[in-house]
Amino acid sequence: MISLAYSVQKMLEDQNFVKRLSSCEIMGGANNICSDKTGTLTKNQMTWTNIWTGDASTKIKDPDGKGPMNTEEFCSAKTKQYLSEGVSCNTTGVIPDAGATELAMLKFIDRCNVDYVHMRQRYVPKDLLRFQFDSSRKRMSTVIELGQEEQTEFGYPKRIHTKGASEIILSTCTHYLDQNGEKKDLNDTKR
């Protein structure tokens, strides 16, 4: 109890305000608060504001908007297909109840006129192979099944989509798709 009283007193002196008194015990002893998701602490939401496709970065017009988005402004049809598969199949939530990160992703492709529920039904197999996000891997991966007409360039009927910490994902990449959806070598300069 002394600890809680001291924490409350210290927070008052520092002019810290909290909504729930129970958090004082925890926060009173904190020296630093670090967050890599700007806005989630203040607005409890995330939004895609920029997208990097190929050789260009595009600022999303009206990122908080509700209307449809023209994907032709920033990516090729092939890139849109991969993006749609990745977001749809490598997320687990739905718009009404997803976490902040997944909600931002799902809202983005929803505005791109992608039916993520239909994509999941089409590509996610019944015997799902998914590597959930954890702090050691810093990424999440899901293997999807392609139709016979959609096999990879190497003839595989499956594709893996991964999302996570950019430095981890980038370190595993050897190629990227340019603005036209063409596969290009990813060299150190481009990385």
Task: Considering the candidates 14, 36, 64, 127, report the single residue annotated as catalytic.
Answer: 36
Any catalytic annotation for residue 127?
no
Two tokens, residue 66: 């509700």
Burial of 107 (0-12, 13-18, 19+ CB in 10 A): buried
Neighbouring CB atoms inside 10 A of 80's CB total 19
Two tokens, residue 183: 């596969």
For 4-44, the DSSP string reads HHHHHHHHHHTT---S-TTHHHHHTT-S----SSTTTTTTS
Q: Which residues are catalytic?
A: 36
